[in-house]
């Protein structure tokens, strides 16, 4: 199980065991199309959590579940020492792929367990403790907003607010967590020292460049708007066209306008979408009285988003005048461009070089738990390639060899982070930072 | 209770009793906004049916419920004689008005009961039997298509097909009727001789002209399309815009195109709408893979609809090319312009004159049960004014005096129909017609 190298015993990556774990987990919420359907705090999410907790417990990790249901597997090597958090999320989009989130959680579990074996083999006590983590509701599919668990951990959202969020059926996060037995009462591992996450890219930059590891340098800025369009219910038959105030028509003009921003402003530097739309009464014969749109604008250039938002609000005015609907925007979340810790990036690059892995820097367009936690401690984010860049789809795929080299890479990064190689984590400014 | 006139005892309209009945019924499924929410075969629809059945039973009507849940209150004056059907529907749109459908059912019940009292007072036996009816799922809000009960009665749809229709939660009409105790086993009253219905106008032609009764001469043609837009699920973040196939974007272009047909073709002679849209996965972060639209085109001129359909299908092609989605149209229902029985129209006009009511001919833009039943027997359709033309909205309103004069009018029409005054019903071609 261990190999000798320069007098120190090193445990090699066990790719077969890792892939077996992925196969086991993928059975939970498996879909006919080869993916998984494991919405946050659903029965399937509960089963996936049970599976992870059992795997960790069997290897000596202590399981902790905090108030928002974040699931931690803790190795407390030094009592009271800060934690290296390492993980991702077990929840999925509807009818989604097996890797998004799940890969990062299982990779973290295997990486941390390998560190455990290595420490035992060498009689070492790492400088920092480690906590494998599955964050609650990263996806934001069943419950909006996304990144719920990691945002509560990072104190940008209160647990009370997060627990009160309801799905379309009116079930709150708190009720759903209680139903699956994950409304926890444990204190989350604290203080954090640093956070690490590995994820599939969900784009094809790595594949195009032929690299096996991506070092995430920064995240795109994103604006997320919840938009209310208010019309007036009326009969779709006799009501004269000129007297209608059709909220679905208004919403449709906005959806088209959002798409057209791309060519208007910055092809390739602006991504726009409306992917969730809720309408009332949604009857074939009654003009829509209310439409709620979830509209996203994303760019690596914050100035582009400023322009896009201005044009979007101008579109509101145009649509109001054309259709007679009222439009408001009760919720806006604006996430800025944020650079990942520069020293962490260099530590990751050095890790890749040590392992002989071809890496490159890139950005994450998607939101990630490591971005949320990165607001309180340095975070290191790694990508493995995604076949054809497929994401949020059952056909999501990464070759086994790439998945395993990603686990090896994460283990190396985790070893260095636990050893205290990231100077910023031991500079003494940690307490001040996490208390902000 | 009865008055003497030319040796024959006539029972006057009891407006207070009628309005009291409307008030009682309006309590069932009452909404905070002053309307009712009484979806087809819901618990509230069940309570409304119970209320109606009890009212009729107490007055000597025999209750029959057929396989599709149509509820009949029968007065069989002559064994085996054909039936004059008179009624409308108790189901409502979501958060809708108190009058749509309900008015026609309660008016029919009060009119038929007045005929009963009159026949008893005069020792008369009318030529035809009468059946008060509440047709199942006229609205098509919970279950598509609309006019379900009257279409099964008229044999344009089988009971088996209608019972198998499911709502959004996957509950079938059959299951829903069983749950409320209205999955009937009775033979519907047969053969029909003629059908009469009174309804609120849901437009403002009568109000504009200052008339109290509308004689419906014909119905607008209507095309109803169920359209499937198929895209591909993908991440709304990293997926390059050019690689997306967004079904919601495709649907939005179609919704806008449908609206623009009006000015392109025939303002005032074309009504278009999309009022029901179902999307999957409907998650803020996953590009929509599937959108189902319910699109309607209506016109008094069938040629306009031919042109509109051609332009709509051209829009399909344009949207396919612009967005990469696939578009299909698995269900189309085309309802032609149909003129109501000319002799029935004259009978109604004579009835109005006899009562001194100001009437005018007009068209119905909306679908009505009397149109469905009118495919097998003559039907007579009456309107009362709608305040400001409001329909499918909680604020739907008609003044009490107008409601009561409508009941008086319906009673007069029903008396003439039951007496056999409509020659076409006794011409002997009835059996051939209803058997087709």
b/e for B122-151, b at 16 or more Cβ within 10 A? eeeebbbbbbbbbbbbbbbbbbbbbbbbbb
Q: Among A221-230, A260-269, A380-389, B200-209, where is mean pLDDT lowest?
A: A260-269
Mean pLDDT of B50-76: 98
The pLDDT assigned to A429 comes to 52
Q: Which of B165, B230, B252 to mutate to test the interface with A (most CBs of A within 10 A)?
A: B252
Q: Which residues of B touch A283 (CB under 8 A)?
A: 93-94, 139-141, 275-276
B194 has pLDDT over 70: yes
Question: Which of A93, A279, A282 lies at the smallest CB-CB distance from B285?
Answer: A93
CB contact under 8 A, B285 and A275: yes
The pLDDT assigned to A435 comes to 46
Torsion of CA A412, A414, A415, A418, to 10 degrees: 160
This prediction has a pTM of 0.93
Sign for the CA dihedral angle at A312, A314, A319, A320 comes to positive
Question: Which of B144, B252, B275 lies at the smallest CB-CB distance from A286?
Answer: B275
A254 has pLDDT over 60: yes
Q: Among A88-92, A264-268, A349-353, B295-299, where is mean pLDDT lowest?
A: A264-268
Share of chain A above pLDDT 90, in %: 93
Q: Which residues of B touch A286 (CB under 8 A)?
A: 93-94, 96, 141, 275, 392
State the distance between the two ends of chain A, measured CA to CA, in whole angstroms. Answer: 44
Question: Which of A232, A276, A284 lies at the smallest CB-CB distance from B284?
Answer: A276
What are the angstrom distances between the C-alpha of A310 and each of A220, A255, A307, A313, B402? 19, 15, 5, 5, 52
Mean pLDDT of B350-362: 98
Compute the mean pLDDT over every residue in chain A, rounded to the nearest whole number: 95
CB contact under 8 A, B279 and A277: yes
CB contact under 8 A, A286 and B94: yes
pLDDT confidence bin for A87, thresholds 50/70/90: very high
B435 has pLDDT over 60: no
Q: Which residues of A touch B333 (CB under 8 A)?
A: none
Q: Which residues of A touch B94 (CB under 8 A)?
A: 280-283, 286
A52 has pLDDT over 50: yes
The pLDDT assigned to B390 comes to 96
Q: Which residues of A touch B224 (CB under 8 A)?
A: 284
CB contact under 8 A, B240 and A268: yes
| Per-residue pLDDT tens digits for B72-115 | 999 999 999 999 999 999 999 999 999 999 999 999 999 999 99
The pLDDT assigned to A1 comes to 36
Mean pLDDT of B397-424: 96
CB contact under 8 A, B393 and A251: no
The values of phi and psi at residue B271, to 5°, are -115, 130
User: Which ranges constitute the DSSP H helices of A85-140?
Assistant: 102-122
Mean pLDDT of B397-406: 98
Residue A14 DSSP code: -
The pLDDT assigned to B280 comes to 97
| Per-residue pLDDT tens digits for A129-175 | 999 999 999 999 999 999 999 999 999 999 999 999 999 999 999 99
| Per-residue pLDDT tens digits for B5-47 | 556 788 899 999 999 999 999 999 999 999 999 999 999 999 9
Q: Strand (E) positions, B91-191?
A: 129-134
A288 close to A228: Cβ distance less than 8 angstroms: no
| Per-residue pLDDT tens digits for A202-223 | 999 999 999 999 999 999 999 9
The pLDDT assigned to B175 comes to 98
Q: Is B93 exposed, middle or buried (0-12, 13-18, 19+ CB in 10 A)?
A: buried
The pLDDT assigned to A11 comes to 87
The pLDDT assigned to A436 comes to 41
Q: Which of A101, A233, A386 to mutate to test the interface with B (most CBs of B within 10 A)?
A: A233
């Amino acid at each position: 199980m261990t190999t000798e190298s320069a007098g120190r015993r090193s445990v090699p990556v066990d790719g077969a065991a890792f892939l077996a774990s992925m196969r086991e987990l993928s059975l939970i919420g498996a879909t006919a199309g080869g993916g998984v359907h494991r919405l946050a705090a659903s029965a399937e999410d509960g089963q996936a959590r049970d599976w992870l907790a059992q795997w960790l417990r069997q290897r000596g990790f202590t399981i902790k579940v905090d108030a928002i249901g974040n699931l931690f597997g803790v190795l407390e090597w030094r009592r009271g020492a800060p934690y290296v958090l390492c993980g991702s999320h077990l929840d999925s989009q509807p009818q989604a792929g097996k890797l998004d989130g799940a890969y990062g959680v299982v990779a973290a579990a295997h990486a941390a367990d390998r560190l455990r074996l290595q420490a035992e083999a060498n009689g070492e006590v790492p400088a920092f403790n480690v906590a494998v983590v599955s964050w609650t509701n990263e996806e934001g599919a069943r419950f909006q907003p996304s990144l719920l668990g990691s945002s509560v951990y990072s104190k940008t959202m209160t647990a009370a607010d997060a627990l009160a969020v309801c799905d379309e059926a009116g079930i709150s996060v708190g009720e759903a967590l209680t139903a699956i037995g994950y409304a926890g009462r444990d204190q989350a591992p604290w203080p954090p020292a640093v956070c690490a996450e590995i994820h599939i890219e969900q784009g094809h930059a790595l594949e195009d460049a032929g690299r096996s590891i991506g070092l995430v340098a920064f995240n795109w800025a994103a604006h997320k708007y919840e938009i209310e369009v208010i019309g007036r219910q009326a009969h779709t038959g006799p009501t004269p066209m000129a007297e209608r105030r059709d909220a679905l028509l208004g919403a449709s003009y906005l959806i088209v306008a959002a798409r057209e921003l791309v060519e208007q402003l910055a092809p390739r530097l602006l991504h726009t979408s409306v992917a969730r739309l809720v309408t009332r009464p949604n009857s074939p014969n009654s003009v829509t009285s209310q439409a709620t749109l979830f509209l996203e604008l994303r760019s690596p250039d914050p100035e582009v988003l400023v322009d896009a938002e201005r044009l979007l609000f101008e579109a509101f005015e145009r649509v109001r005048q054309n259709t007679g609907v009222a439009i408001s925007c009760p919720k806006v979340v604006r996430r800025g461009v944020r650079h990942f810790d520069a020293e962490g990036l260099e530590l990751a690059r050095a890790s890749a070089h040590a392992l002989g892995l071809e890496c490159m820097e890139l950005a994450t367009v998607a939101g990630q738990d490591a971005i949320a936690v990165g607001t309180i401690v340095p975070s290191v984010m790694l990508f493995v390639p995604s076949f054809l860049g497929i994401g949020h789809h059952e056909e999501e795929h990464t070759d086994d060899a790439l998945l395993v080299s990603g686990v090896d890479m994460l283990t190396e990064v985790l070893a260095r982070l636990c050893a205290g190689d990231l100077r910023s984590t031991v500079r003494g400014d940690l307490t001040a930072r996490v208390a902000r």
